[in-house]
């Protein structure tokens, strides 16, 4: 089981989330009554939909994480799932996203495009060794 599958399985048990196809056409999504929250595009990658306000509030923390990739102007954050701690990070961020979308629901359809194919995630080096 990949880390993304493990995360999807854990999140699918949350009562506020419903599984279905991702609006971008690739992979699975979990959505709240207010918005799509997370897309799983591969076994090691998930796109998380936050609000602009939530991103501003936690931007410093997002910027220092080696698991996070952001696209300027996007409300989607890519989480690279390389270890169990990354899955825990994703679950914490999903909780932030759910709270943010409850306070400020998105009107209309899905947020303008997730980060699928807009972010390249390279594997993290192990102890400074590349290759």
pLDDT digits over 73-127, tens only?
889 999 999 999 999 999 999 999 999 988 865 554 445 678 776 655 445 454 4
pLDDT for position 71: 86
- Provide the 8-state DSSP code for 129: B
pLDDT for position 115: 75
**Paired tokens of 72:** 């300027």
pLDDT for position 110: 45
pLDDT above 70: residue 6:
yes
Picking from 11, 2, 9, 10, the residue whose alpha carbon sits closest to that of residue 97 is 11
**What pTM value is reported for the model?**
0.82
List Cβ neighbours of 53 (8 Å cut-off, separation of 6 or more). Answer: 100, 104
pLDDT for position 74: 87
Q: How many Å apart are CA 7 and CA 15, to the nearest integer? A: 15
Least confident of 3-12, 37-46, 106-115: 106-115
Beta strands in 32-119 (DSSP E): 36-42, 45-49, 68-70, 76-80
């Amino acid at each position: 089981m990949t880390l993304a599958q493990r995360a999807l399985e854990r999140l699918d048990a949350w009562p506020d989330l419903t599984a279905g196809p991702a609006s971008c056409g690739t992979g699975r999504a979990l959505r709240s009554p207010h918005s799509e929250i997370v897309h799983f595009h591969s076994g090691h990658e998930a796109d998380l939909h936050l609000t602009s306000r939530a991103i501003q509030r936690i931007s410093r923390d997002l910027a220092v994480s080696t698991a996070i990739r952001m696209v300027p102007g996007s409300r989607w954050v890519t989480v690279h799932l390389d270890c169990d701690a990354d899955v825990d990070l994703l679950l914490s961020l999903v909780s932030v996203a759910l709270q943010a979308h409850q306070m400020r629901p998105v009107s209309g359809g899905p947020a303008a495009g997730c980060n699928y194919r807009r972010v390249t995630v390279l594997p993290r080096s192990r102890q400074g060794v590349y290759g």
